[in-house]
Amino acid sequence: MSSLPLHERTLSLDHEELINVLANEPNLLIIQDLDGVCMGLVKDPLTRVMDTHYIEATRSFNGHFYVLTNGEHIGKRGVNLIIERAYDDQNLVKEKGFYLPGLAGGGVQWQDRHGNVSHPGVSDKELDFLARVPQYIEASFKNFFANNNPNLDDKAIANYIQASILDNKVSPTANLNVFHEVFIEQEDYYFQLQQHIKQLMDDLLAKATDEGLENSFFVHYAPNLGRDETGQEIMQEAKGKDSGTTDFQFMLKGGIKEVGVLGILNRYYYQRTGKYPLREDFSVRNAPRNHHQLVALIKDNFDPEQMPTIVGVGDTVTSKAVEKNGNLSFGRGGSDRGFLQLIQEIGQEFNTGNLIVYIDSSAGEVKNRKALKLEENNGQNYVVEGPGDPRDQADPLTLNVAFPGGYQQYIQCFQEAAKKRKQ
């Protein structure tokens, strides 16, 4: 194994050293994504399951472990229900503190270990508009299929539509994974559906503006091609068998994961020092979006002596070549890229050895992830190609540790670290 410190390596498979850091670092803060990281990536969120051994292992990191997800804690497609199903006893989950603490909805839905949920900085008017979005998504799907005949019976279409509407409280979503599978041989048809849902999202933003909520929402595309010059995310168009963007999440402005890092860090400092560096009522809604501004805000308000070693864990990082006028550029996206890159920048600024951990979720049901490429040398495996485009040598994000074996390999490592930390 390399003699370099783990935070200076790229796509290392030295999981023992990661376990060592997780088990022994006293000032540790783990910020972790969920889907594809600690449970399988599936087309229908209602079928997700989570290992109870992993759930219980998170308690060994009590106060040092928080989730950061664009999904939600609550609702019929929320993570809480997955945990309650795993134990078949909601009261037990609440009493034992088995819920996963942290931020959902990109950063606007806070939860503690016992399932107490709040929505800092969110107005009732915004929640009322979000509650109507699933109805608009359903009507839009029905309109598309009424005007486009896919040679499917009405009952099948109705079932697919219901599976594709995620009626989350603060991040209602149109998920096209099921339709991509259904129309895998009808690429033009799927492309038209993708464009139709893109137009719906644009229309919903315009409708919100008409109702006096012009600064309330944005659309998160997963996967995406990064952001344009105005800061808006760029949808990845379907091309051939590549599904491109499959998740269209209508979200609250400010609900982006990198700002969520500040929300978690603010609460972590309070645990350690009894003071909130950014005030108790800090909300991601009124924080800057720019990485340089976020790092400056941390430098100005957070005691460097108390800054933890932060371990960011995610599975959605992309880099795709885009050719325009004969010039090659790269659309760098993925819903985890922003928060992982901010954690990396904080580590560089405060010299805390922050780690970026990448989980290969390409073996899941959702087939739009690029698998890590491994080669063997002298009996040892090495990652020779990451999730991005190998030509993108200027990608600023360094993935320090890789788990080519997916979430199963990661949660096994996590459980070993939890056992050692408990001891």
pLDDT tens for residues 54-78?
A: 999 999 999 999 999 999 999 988 9
Is residue 296 scored above 80 in pLDDT? yes
Output the pLDDT for position 359.
98
CA atoms of 313 and 301, how far apart (whole Å): 25
CA atoms of 151 and 148, how far apart (whole Å): 9
Output the pLDDT for position 206.
97
CA atoms of 110 and 103, how far apart (whole Å): 5
CA atoms of 170 and 103, how far apart (whole Å): 12
Residues 6+ away with beta carbon under 8 Å from 392: 319, 321, 330, 332
User: What is the domain partition of the chain in residue ranges?
Assistant: 6-71+256-420, 124-252
| pLDDT above 70: percentage of residues in the chain | 100
Please count the other Cβ atoms lying within 10 Å of the Cβ belonging to residue 150.
17
Q: What is the mean pLDDT of residues 86-93?
A: 96
Output the pLDDT for position 308.
98
Token pair of 166 as six digits: 């995620």
Q: Categorize the per-residue pLDDT at 368 as very low, low, confident or very high, splitting at 50, 70 and 90.
A: confident
Output the pLDDT for position 151.
84
CA atoms of 164 and 359, how far apart (whole Å): 25
Q: What is the mean pLDDT of residues 113-138?
A: 96
State pLDDT tens for residues 183-241.
Answer: 988 999 999 999 999 999 999 999 999 999 999 999 999 989 888 888 889 999 999 88
Mean pLDDT (the chain) is: 94
Do 33 and 313 touch, CB atoms closer than 8 A? yes
Length of the chain: 423
- Sheet (strand 65-68) strand order: 117-118, 109-111, 102-104, 65-68, 28-32, 309-314, 355-359, 401-403
Is residue 140 scored above 70 in pLDDT? yes
Cis peptide before 223 (omega within 30 of 0): yes
CA atoms of 232 and 218, how far apart (whole Å): 8
Q: Which residues pair with 385 in a beta bridge?
A: 373
Output the pLDDT for position 1.
58
Exposure letters 332-363 (e unless 16+ CB within 10 A, then b): bbbbbbbbbbbbbbbbeebebbbbbbbbbbbb
Is residue 149 scored above 80 in pLDDT? no
* CA-to-CA separations, 77 to 35, 82, 92, in angstroms, rounded: 12, 8, 20
Do 245 and 223 touch, CB atoms closer than 8 A? yes
Long-range contacts of 378-383 (CB under 8 A, 24+ apart): 381/13, 382/13, 383/11, 383/12, 383/13
